[in-house]
Amino acid sequence: MHQTFGRRRLLGASALAAPMLACTRLVRAQGQAAPAPRIEVPVVDSLSVQVVTDGAHDIFISGAQVPGIKVERTRGFYGAQLNRSLRSEWGLSLHLTAHKGGEIRRYLLDFGWTPDVLNNNLDLLQVDVSAIDVLISSHGHYDHIGGMEGFLAKHRAAMRDDLRLYVGGEDAFCYRHSRAPNGAFASFGMLDRRMLEAHRVRPVLSEEPLVIEGMGFTTGIVPRTSLERVLPGSFVEFGQRDGAGCDVAKYASHHFTPAELAGQPVPDQHLHEHGTCFHVKDRGLVVITSCGHAGIINTVRRAKQVSGVDTVYALVGGFHLAVASEDYLNKVVTELKTLDIQHIFPMHCSGSNFLEAAKREMPQALVLCTTGSRFTFGT
């Protein structure tokens, strides 16, 4: 599918967000990218990543001794909570806490597959939902947005009035489909603007990188410049119906094929998936690829380009390599090693195949993850 990205514009963002955008043009054609937009990214003293939902909870996993990083594991619950436990599912949700001076910012990044699991784990992990400053959605896959509506139904009344949800662009609102065993298309859900409006959540859409709440930043659209490609997965339906879906007029200068404009589901290229990043003082970048469909190498490169920070302290999240062939996986790992990333935290869709390759090729960088773990970078 031919894709050309011309000048990006802020879609639906507030006047507060607009000044954060660089005016540099970003062009993607034939795998080449123009100089990336540069933004002034804040430096935080520390960042804590709490794994609220992931694919498994291992109460015996090693605490791990990682120089410069505090690793905490959730072992189990006792006393009044004896009959409860953390739940895991196919999906990802992370609670992020950043400190800078005497200030704190709290982010909820993605929402897992179901609200039951998300709300259960937030409660058991004693996350103060009322203190969350902002929500972030990495992309429109159900295993990252499925828990959102039920989360808002339970907690919205206790949260800040001007609650915002940051998404990479219009693509987050498309109808998604999966392929049933008989070959027929089946719904894979979609992020619904009507639901957000009903819960008084204002979406902020940007194809460009943005600073969020003064401490974190997004990569914006991730150019595809490495050997990586989007591996087969879901299908996307462009256009709107029944009052929902994505508006093709809000994709800047993306070229749509006639089949796409006709509403025919096509292989999903995750055009607006973005990474969430922090620059930790005296450490470097922490880059979070919630699913990494655009490629973990591409995402890391993009984070370095837009921030001007060359040191990557940690790569965290889903790497979407579980479905990779051995040859492709080996090529990605070989390239990943050249980026000199100090710590790697694979979650969700990274795959046992990636874990085995990382244990073999970069054991000093690998940190195992599980539902309930918390990792703190910086002082």
Q: What does the pLDDT look like over 104-144, one tens digit per residue? A: 999 999 999 999 999 999 999 999 999 999 999 999 999 99
Which residues constitute the domain of residue 336? 10-378
Is-contact 123 53, C-beta < 8 A? no
Residue 35: its pLDDT value, please? 65
d(CA 90, CA 290): 13
Residue 34: its pLDDT value, please? 55
Is-contact 221 3, C-beta < 8 A? no
Residue 13: its pLDDT value, please? 39
Residue 263: its pLDDT value, please? 86
**Does residue 187 lie in a domain region?**
yes
Is-contact 8 26, C-beta < 8 A? yes
**Does residue 5 lie in a domain region?**
no
**Does residue 205 lie in a domain region?**
yes
Instruction: Find the CATH number of the domain harbouring 91.
Output: 3.60.15.10
Residue 25: its pLDDT value, please? 30
DSSP-derived pairing of the beta strands 175-179 and 185-187: antiparallel
Residue 15: its pLDDT value, please? 33
**Does residue 3 lie in a domain region?**
no
Residue 379: its pLDDT value, please? 74
Place of tokens 């400190």: 99
How many domains does the structure of the chain reveal? Answer: 1
> What are the tens digits of pLDDT across the range 10-47?
333 333 333 333 222 333 333 444 566 899 999 999 99
Q: Identify the burial level of 281 via C-beta atoms within 10 angstroms of its C-beta, where 0-12 means exposed, 13-18 middle and 19 or more buried.
A: middle
**Does residue 4 lie in a domain region?**
no
- Positions of the chain with pLDDT under 50: 1-33
Residue 29: its pLDDT value, please? 35
Is-contact 205 11, C-beta < 8 A? yes
**Does residue 120 lie in a domain region?**
yes
Give the distance from CA 95 to its chain's centroid.
12
Residue 190 tokens read as 């979609």
Residue 48: its pLDDT value, please? 98
